[in-house]
Structure 1
Amino acid sequence: MPATVSTEAVLDLIRTELIDSGVEEETITPEAKFDDLDIDSLDAAELMATIKRKFHITIPRAELADVTVGQLAANVAEKAGL
């Protein structure tokens, strides 16, 4: 894992995971809220597991409520860079 993690790298990972879960690519913007992306709890759990595996940090699924894709990416980048 690199010493610093960019928000853009995290955004790319989130986009890839969401597209693999069936979310329409054009709906995945930094401003999009997870609540509006039509992902189920299994998809959310898989996303959190991927983030944990890739960046070695844990983000509780509950933190996806009322959070944008960009906010999650920034949060992960910040925690992973510590």
Structure 2
Amino acid sequence: MAGIDEQHSWWTSAGTIRRGMTVLDPDAVPLGTVDHVEGEEIHLADTPNDDARSFILASQVDGIDGDTVLLSRRGDATFGEGALP
């Protein structure tokens, strides 16, 4: 995409993800902020505790709202499982 600084912004199917955006889990709990993107991995900084994982997969992103990355309840962990009726 023209005009996007490749070191601070990354295009994904959900939209443009920028360094410093807050990442929220499906219950609106902050997981950290975006540090950088490598392939399908969105690496986090400022995670709430040392036990938190340091990245999420781009396929887990449900949407982008302003400076916030919103994660879906259905991530890769449920890939291949049928939907609930």
Higher RCO (Cα < 8 Å, 6 or more apart):
1
TM-score (norm 1): 0.25
Structure with more strand by fraction: 2
> Which has the larger helix fraction?
1
Larger Rg: 2
